[in-house]
Amino acid sequence: MLISKIGEFGLIERFRKSIKTDSSVVVGSGDDCAVIKFSKDKYQLFTCDMLVEGVDFTLRDKPELIGRKALAVSISDIAACAGEPTHCLISLGLPKSLPLRLLDRITRGIFSEAGKYRINILGGDLSRADKLVIDVSMLGMVKKKGLVLRNGAKTGDFIFVTGSLGGSIRGKHLSFAPRLKEAKFLVNNFKVNSMIDISDGLAADLGHILKASNAAAVIYEDLIPLSKDAKNLSEALFMGEDFELLFTLSRSDARKLLNKKDSRFRCIGQITAKKYGIRLIDKNGRERNLKPRGFTHF
């Protein structure tokens, strides 16, 4: 069987069946970050992301933005668990033909992003490769009482997103701001039941929350905030790489957040009983089932 037949998430599940962890691991594979025991009141977060030329960026993109994206995608994972990034390792796969001046500009973007968020770069590895590859492994820290995962959505919760969605390929995927401040605001003022960052697409990442939480959802076309770069609703649902936060709150906390009239947060729907799947209500009030699909590598 070819990898293309089993698909990205089928392949991940195949690997997960063979993974064994000890008691130091609170959460392993299957969330935005792994969660590791650290101290009486804190957990350590651990995540990694690989960017590949031709898949996540091209050499026609501004080099500094390529570098900052390499760090920002992992920072976004840390934000999705309501943590703070602290340390990272960076490994590079480099074609021999890559101009040194271009590499200098990419690393300038990496170092600038690390400095902005006070992340310690501890080293990494180098290897020859046919295409440019940037792999980041990042550590973070989160208070135990503030940790948010994908599996806590409850029937009756309201579904929110930060920012706007769709059209990311037209620039946002390189220039997005990881939502660390928003995540910190949320956990400091509300009980966030579940959260994920939107990397694969709204439908796919909502599907990840629903699968982990054994739940379903209804979302409303009129409420989904479209980016100015989005050509249509489909791009907001399926394109991915928006790196906004998708999260759920109880009715009472949702009311409190909405009363603040904070434009950073938009309510788009509600968690329902599992038997319903994902339902989309369009502008005319018509209902259709929505498949939890989005970007996949295979």
Question: Does an H or E element contain 175, and which?
Answer: helix 172-175
For residue 11, what pLDDT is reported? 76
Q: Which of 121, 145, 169 finishes a domain?
A: 145
Give the domain CATH number at 184: 3.90.650.10
Q: For residues 221 and 211, what is the distance between their CA atoms, to the nearest angstrom? A: 22
Task: Give percent above pLDDT 70 in the chain.
Answer: 98
* Mean pLDDT taken over the chain: 95
The CA-CA-CA angle for residues 236, 237, 239, to 5°, reads 70
Express each pLDDT in 121-165 by its tens digit: 999 999 999 999 999 999 999 999 999 999 999 999 999 999 999
**Does residue 153 sit in helix, strand or coil?**
coil
| Banded pLDDT at 9 (limits 50, 70, 90) | confident
How many other C-beta atoms lie within 10 A of the C-beta of residue 98? 16
Q: Which of 114, 145, 176 finishes a domain?
A: 145
Is the same domain home to 165 and 105?
Answer: no
For residue 297, what pLDDT is reported? 65
Containing structural domain, residue 214: 149-289
Is the same domain home to 47 and 62?
Answer: yes
Express each pLDDT in 173-206 by its tens digit: 999 999 999 999 999 999 999 999 999 999 999 9
Q: What is the mean predicted confidence (pLDDT) over 48-74? A: 97
Q: Which of 91, 119, 145 finishes a domain?
A: 145
7 belongs to a structural domain: no
Is the same domain home to 58 and 32?
Answer: yes
Residue with tokens 């930060």: 162
Instruction: Give whole-number Cα distances, 232 to 7, 17, 221, 226, in Å.
Output: 26, 38, 11, 8
Is the same domain home to 170 and 270?
Answer: yes
Is the same domain home to 170 and 255?
Answer: yes
| Banded pLDDT at 96 (limits 50, 70, 90) | very high
Is the same domain home to 139 and 156?
Answer: no
14 belongs to a structural domain: no
The contacts of residue 165 (CB under 8 Å, 6+ apart) are: 198, 202, 224, 225, 226, 227, 230, 235, 236, 237, 242, 244
Give the domain CATH number at 67: 3.30.1330.10
Is the same domain home to 267 and 224?
Answer: yes
pLDDT over threshold 80, residue 12: no
Is the same domain home to 32 and 63?
Answer: yes
For residue 281, what pLDDT is reported? 97
What single string gives the DSSP state of each residue in 2-71? -HHHHHHHHHHHHHHTT----TTEEE-BTBSSEEEE-SSSEEEEEEEEEEEBTTTB-TTS-HHHHHHHHH
Is the same domain home to 135 and 220?
Answer: no
The total of structural domains in the chain comes to 2
Q: What is the mean predicted confidence (pLDDT) over 240-265? A: 97
pTM to 2 decimal places: 0.94
Is the same domain home to 219 and 138?
Answer: no
For residue 135, what pLDDT is reported? 98
Is the same domain home to 284 and 161?
Answer: yes
Q: What is the mean predicted confidence (pLDDT) over 63-74? A: 98
296 belongs to a structural domain: no
